Amino acid sequence: MFKHIAALSLSLAMAAGAVADEKPYKEGPVTSVAWVRVKDGKMYEYINYLKGNYAAQMEAFKKAGLVTGYKIYQVTPRRPEDPNLILTVTYPNYAALDHNADFDAVSIKLNGSLKQAQEGYGSRESIRVILGSELIQELIPK
């Protein structure tokens, strides 16, 4: 009988510990944030690229369920080395970033081949510089 009581006590203690270890939030979507410095006089050219090839690619990724959204933000730089544009792409979760083959398949379907996709995007170094990027994840309180 004491064995049963001890086993029950141990089970209840473990269950209480598991509840205590539960996170007070759930992990939400993951957003890639890129800081961009568009060169002087090139903003319209870059925006035209973003609303063309870039938007077509992002919309194809959305349709395939690989991303949930993307946005373009204009920023007022405080110094010459600061970004003047921020690009974000939101993914359902971190695991979505591991689907390289799926992203490639969508690019191939949209452009015919990965090489054509890369050529279609062209070189943008003459109009902008990527200053950095990071991944952020939304935490949703429970």
pLDDT at residue 116 greater than cutoff 90:
no
Q: What is the pLDDT of residue 8?
A: 47
Q: In the chain, where are the structural domains located?
A: 25-141
Residues 27-68: pLDDT tens digits? 999 999 999 999 999 999 999 999 998 999 999 999 999 999
Helices 100-111, 114-121: inter-axial angle, 10-degree rounding? 70
| Cβ atoms 70, 58 nearer than 8 A | yes
pLDDT at residue 18 greater than cutoff 70:
no
Average pLDDT score over the chain: 87
Structure tokens at 102: 């799926």
Q: What is the pLDDT of residue 19?
A: 55
Q: For the domain made up of 25-141, give the CATH fold.
A: Alpha-Beta Plaits (3.30.70)
**Which of the pair, 63 or 121, is modelled with greater confidence?**
63
pLDDT at residue 9 greater than cutoff 60:
no
Q: What pTM, to 2 d.p., does this model score?
A: 0.80
CA torsion angle 94 99 103 105 (round to 10): -160
**Which of the pair, 13 or 81, is modelled with greater confidence?**
81
In our burial notation (b when 16+ CB lie closer than 10 A, e otherwise), range 93-118 reads eeebeebeeebeebbeebbeeeeebe
